Chain A
Amino acid sequence: MAITNPGSKMNDSWVGIQRGQRVRPWAWLVEKGIFLVSLSAILMIFLIFVFVAREALPIFLGQVSTASGQKVIPVADMEKLTPAELQAYLGLTPRQYAEMDTDTKRTLMEVKIEELKGISKDPDTALNTVAWRQMIFGHQWSGYPAPVYIWQPVSEVQKYNIIPLLLGSLKATLVALLFSVPLSLGAAIYVSQLANPRVREWLKPMIELLAGIPSVVLGFFGLIVLATVLQKVFGYQSRLNAFVAGIALGLAIIPGVFSIAEDALTSVPRTYTQAALALGSSRWQAAWQIVLPAAIPGVFAAVVLGFGRAIGETMVVLMASGNASIVSWNIFDSARTMTATIAAEMAEAVVGGTHYRILFMLGTLLFVVTFVANLAGDLVIHRLKRRLEGKSA
């Protein structure tokens, strides 16, 4: 109020008194409180990372092995084993062993034999499939004519190659960015620089309204409508693919990218445009050649955030990408992303088992990828800002 009525003397003096006063204790408290809240946000991110990474740690350290080489011991030989041998064979803790009676141990031995006999004669069962070599490079499994990249975790020989998933995530994200960045940037330039105020009034909220659509609805839209329409237009074979998922994903990230880019463009001082117009440039030239370059750091930040959102989005890709784990750069082939894999497979993974740990490893990987992308984005923005301010060459 005081600032909007500069003419009133009473208000002016009131402002003066405010300025001269010492800081009130509650203001100090509020300030520290806000500081604590922001600190807790950082702590929270750190803790999330620690917990996710902890579950995946045995994979990173190579402590997990899927290789099986246990020999079958007939139930009749149970008496011949020493307690320590029996305990190790049945995989019991000392306490479980002490508390269990002989009959139960006998039943457990029978079950163990059943389990060991269930393992197929496939030579690959002796192989540790969660070694990095098997997870990153192609491997020629028995029965396959050539080395292949296979993600097939529920199988006689569990195959955990992460390349198809990485590729799937990258493909869908790339399509999403290629589709949404030009559109949202164009919209941002138009809304902030060229549109007349009346149009801007309703256009901006309309685009931002897209952010309110739940991703599961977008996914469903992709699955039912987009997939059919795009297949008719482009005539490719597989109805659900990285392209459909990417377009639906693009719809999800447009409002975010648009909002930030529009803010960045609007915050370029009006004097820039006015100077350009005064020198005889058209509105379009001013927007394209003066305002956009000045706002580049913000625009870049918008794109990086869009990338983070796209690679982390789950529901849209789960529904619209087809989820086939194949290695192919063709965007019209179906793709399986890391996020969709985690969402689809976590429910059945045995807690603490190999599959479970691998899924957490994928989560860690995603975290690292988005973190590095954001960090790199930040660095580039800083550099651009300094260059624009003329601080370095």
Chain B
Amino acid sequence: MDFYFGLIQIIGVHTLLGLSAYCVLLTGQVSLAQAGFFAIGAYVAGMLTVIAQWPLVPALGVSALVAGATACAVGFPALRVKGLMLVVATVAFGEAVRLFFFNFTYQVQAGNIRLGPHGGEGFRQIRYFPENGWTTLDVMLFIWAVVALVMAGLWWLNRSRAGAVLRAVGEDELAAQSTGINITAVKISAMTVGGVIAGIGGGIFAHYTTHIEHVQFGVVLATFAIAYPILGGLSNVFGTLLAVIFIQGFLIEGLRFMGDWRNLLFGGLIVLAMNVRPRGLLDAGAMLALKRLFFSRKERSDA
């Protein structure tokens, strides 16, 4: 059972990572910096609970703020460039963050062991959950409570004017400017919100793995972050969740029996999915069909 709980935890954390990229992607920007914000969240939250002995929730709050502030600061120079140049700029930022943590050492003595990030060896003993007696089930429920909260927030944002403005910028920057939208401000706001969500995700990640190191936050993770919303579709937040379940649950865990052939099939299936559903697994058409299904049922039960 713990295996499945663990898998559901992974899916939850990766959903947060995917949603952080989703926010930025709504404005039409492809950012590979999300893994960097995720890393910042992980290290900040880990240091707060381990070294400063903070409880988890305020630690996550601070990691969200730090990652969000970093995203905002990175947004100003990075969002002046577009398309491939932005991809290159954000990859560079992500790598800079990773290499920072590769070199970053800050440890304190606690009894006969030293705690805290230790450069290339990583940050071990982030033992908040076991020390406070959380079971795997508790952790899973906590993660999903956070995921549900973030998803509800984004769902609500989507229906607001802010959501419409994000999509307008994503669709046609020139038209958006010409209708009076300050596109730089909109893109930086989206980047900041994305940073906040990645920071929370990273903070949770650090605590359930108990051991983080720089290699976990490389380009591969950044690619996953952006792949989820692209594969899932941008029409709403459930697309990203569906894509995470598809990739983490089915492609990575479900195909484990195939051994080394798995990776080959993994790439092939993503290409296939993108070809069959070019606007994402859960596109506007699929949503409409679901809505009809739901509403026609309701009418029938009314009658």
A, B in one complex: no
Interface set of A (CB-CB < 8 Å, partner B): none
